[in-house]
Amino acid sequence: MNRKPHVAVLPNLGLGHLIPQLEFAKRLVVHHGIQVSLLLITTNEPSPAQDQLLSSSHLPLDLHIVPLPPVEVDKNIINDGDVLVLTRLCVITDHSLRSLKSVLIALGKPNALVTDIFATQAFDVCKELLIPTYVYVTTSVAFFAFMLYLPKLDSDVNYEFIDLPEPIQVPGCSPIRTQDLLDQARNRKIDEYKWLLHHFSRLPLASGIFVNSWKDLEPVSIKSIKENPFFKQIPTPPIHPIGPIIKQEETLSVIDVECLKWLDKQPLDSVIFVTFGSGGTLSFEQQTELAWGLELSQQRFIWVVRKPTDSTGAGTFFNAVETNENDPKVYLPEGFLDRTQGMGFVVSSWAPQVTILGHHSTGGFLSHCGWNSVLESIVHGVPLVTWPLYAEQKMNSTMLVEDIGMAIKPKMEAGQQTIVGRKEIEKVVRMVMEGEEGKVIRSRVKELKESATKALDSSGSSYESLSCVADYWKTNHN
């Protein structure tokens, strides 16, 4: 009989959800002696990047991948091209979790389940099976505080939040400008908002909340959630800061190796890495301006280029894949690749982000500010140029620039709401790579890097926070 406690971890679709929860599952196994079943939401659509991630030879023995029965995407409304990312994700999850009860029973009813913020249907199943349910939050603590506050905001305000005359004041936290609100909260009539409110309203049902952050990074938000009367009255479940948990290893392709060989030849801290996460895409016009801005800056760069799309900033959320089917020459300014040869390295669609950020030649990161990318930049001590695209990324960007002080944010063109011009791009890239402001934020991010290392050390706050829960599971399992 296996005397180890058994915990199920349920991430959602999208690499931004899967990667941190997979790494969390690994830590439970390797550092805390927990047996883990990773429950995988699947569809009938191919997911090469996910398959590669989960076929890694580095998975520990006590971590078992358990795919849930695949959802037939083409048989549901989720195949409609007009369905937005969050609605699509939530509908797929809703269909997938119909099998959760039978899967948990087949696994012998684990001692606990750790679920994603957009998979709170698991609460109902686990309540019936008497399984304690925790939530793993893949965003900042500041955004988690907004999640908890949203039901109150929804009941208090009877018009659109973007029409509020003042910033949104989450109790005890930094104010949120209405222009920084995530898209799903900008129109309360759409399904995306209804899904958001539904899942966020259910978060207090959890037995505990894991957040991928640590005290020194977000002291105000963490203190507020633990001590502010508003959050106590909800009541908010116990919050466990366990971060930064980031991707630890990457499988390198032939082009990845070529890219890293180029990076090896560059001076210390001389290259800015430009990429927009697993799901991010730019419009054709914006991609053109970015190309010109990088060229004008005369700074060394690695740029992950994807086929542009004008429809959404999350164009590859569901099908992030390493591919060369789209030739960057087709949608970059004529002659750009020739003119920047030697100065820059353009990669199609995908690059080993953690490996590049950890390289001694990488000195800056132009990023969409997804939370995983933010944590990776901190762990590797690389300052940011923020370029938010979707989800809570605008809130992250403001926090990184104004509260944490490790980033620079470009300004939109005069009279423009959507385009950052080439001269502004040239300016901010030079600032972060060689300007005085760049030196200040570089120093700040190095401090945070040290803080992150200490938090994860065996005597650090994040390690101890996770140890407390793991010890509880060990003490209370049958």
Q: Is 17 annotated in the active site?
A: yes
CATH topology for the 254-452 domain? Rossmann fold (3.40.50)
Lowest-pLDDT range, 228-237, 279-288, 291-300?
279-288
Rounded distance, CA 273 to CA 411, Å? 19
Q: Single out the catalytic residue among 17, 95, 199, 359.
A: 17
Rounded distance, CA 247 to CA 241, Å? 17
Q: Is omega for the bond preceding 244 within 30 degrees of 0, making it cis? A: yes
- What residues does each domain of the chain span? 6-244+457-476, 254-452
66: its two tokens: 């358990």
Q: What percent of the chain has pLDDT over 90?
A: 80
Averaged over 334-347, what is the pLDDT? 95
Q: What is the pLDDT of residues 154-174, one digit of tens each?
A: 999 999 999 999 999 999 999
Q: What is the pLDDT of residues 399-424, one digit of tens each?
A: 999 999 999 999 886 666 679 999 99
Q: What's the CATH code, domain 6-244+457-476?
A: 3.40.50.2000
The dihedral built from the CA positions of residue 361, 363, 369 and 372, taken in this order, carries a sign that is positive
Q: Is 163 annotated in the active site?
A: no
Phi, psi of 440, deg, nearest 5: -65, -50
| The pLDDT of residue 2 | 53
391: its two tokens: 């989800």
Of the pLDDT bands very low, low, confident and very high (cuts 50, 70, 90), residue 134 is very high
Beta bridge partners of 63: 36
Q: Is omega for the bond preceding 235 within 30 degrees of 0, making it cis? A: yes
Q: What is the pLDDT of residues 453-473, one digit of tens each?
A: 999 999 999 999 999 999 999
Of the pLDDT bands very low, low, confident and very high (cuts 50, 70, 90), residue 383 is very high
Judge if 6-244+457-476 and 254-452 fold alike in CATH terms: yes
Q: Are 408 and 386 in contact (CB under 8 A)?
A: yes
Q: What is the pLDDT of residues 185-232, one digit of tens each?
A: 999 999 999 999 999 999 999 999 999 999 999 999 999 999 999 999
pTM higher than the cut 0.85: yes
C-alpha distances in Å from residue 468, one per residue of 32, 239, 459: 10, 12, 12
Q: Single out the catalytic residue among 6, 62, 95, 116.
A: 116
Name residue, tokens 């959404």: 312
Beta bridge partners of 80: none
Of the pLDDT bands very low, low, confident and very high (cuts 50, 70, 90), residue 315 is very low
C-alpha distances in Å from residue 35, one per residue of 26, 47, 64, 212, 407: 10, 26, 8, 21, 39
Of the pLDDT bands very low, low, confident and very high (cuts 50, 70, 90), residue 434 is very high
Of the pLDDT bands very low, low, confident and very high (cuts 50, 70, 90), residue 330 is confident
